[in-house]
Amino acid sequence: MDTKTLCLGALSRADASGYEIKKAFEDGPLGHFHAASFGSIYPALNALDAEGLVACTEMAQEKRPDKKVYSITPRGRDTLARALMAPPAPDRVRSDFLFTLFLAHLLPAPRVGELIDARIAWYRDCLKQMESCDPTDRPAGAAFVHGLGVTLYRAAADYLTAHRADLLDAMAGEDRMVAE
């Protein structure tokens, strides 16, 4: 799924500028399952405009730089729907955290504790933010994915909290090769 489709998806929910789409992938819900940077969003938006899949309105603003607000066209909506009908590519996860924990025996125990604590704090922050917004006025799909996210983050935070001590205990009794 390329950045063009991602932008189309974002614009299917509401008109937005490139800057706002980026924010949606940073703080918004999209960020939890996909990424996109300025360097990929702006070219994608221009390409989409050239293909007639989005329309662009220049908005002059006071005390702010000008904005280009994009809105999806009927043809854009069609293209998006078609792209969504394709069999989704398998999920791609890259987690340095998990990889590092997997090799915990190569690290000093306090460092492992730190890593886990930081991750628990991160999940709790996400959950606080996710639970603050009520999902009732959103489309069913968005509410569904939101619920899944909350469930998964909660399960992860709970697991880490419950088994943190076990891991550190097990490490204490293990043959280890620790960095200085």
Chain residues binding DNA by CB under 7 A are: 2-3, 17-20, 23, 35-40, 42-46, 61, 63-68
Quick one: which of 52, 111, 129, 131 contacts a second copy (CB under 8 A)?
A: 111
Assess 75 for contact with a second copy (CB under 8 A): no
In the block, tokens 């405009």 appear at: 49
Quick one: which of 26, 27, 51, 78 contacts a second copy (CB under 8 A)?
A: 78
44 vs 109 by CB, closer to DNA: 44
Quick one: which of 60, 64, 128, 140 contacts a second copy (CB under 8 A)?
A: 140
Question: Is the Cβ–Cβ distance between 109 and 55 less than 8 Å?
Answer: no
Tell me the two tokens of residue 9. 């998806």
- The DSSP 8-state label assigned to residue 89 in this structure reads P
Assess 133 for contact with a second copy (CB under 8 A): no
Quick one: which of 27, 52, 129, 163 contacts a second copy (CB under 8 A)?
A: 163
Question: Cβ of 124: how many Cβ atoms within 10 Å?
Answer: 14
63 vs 128 by CB, closer to DNA: 63
Q: What, of a second copy, DNA, none, does residue 145 touch, CB below 5 to 8 Å by kind?
A: a second copy
67 vs 164 by CB, closer to DNA: 67
Please list the residues that pair with 34 across neighbouring strands.
Answer: none
Tell me the two tokens of residue 58. 């220049």
Q: Measured between alpha carbons, how far is residue 21 from residues 10, 32, 119 in Å?
A: 7, 14, 26
Question: Minimum CB separation from DNA for residue 91, in Å?
Answer: 13
Tell me the two tokens of residue 20. 């706002």
List, in order, residues 6 or more apart from 33 with CB less than 8 Å away.
145
List, in order, residues 6 or more apart from 94 with CB less than 8 Å away.
none
Question: Minimum CB separation from DNA for residue 143, in Å?
Answer: 26
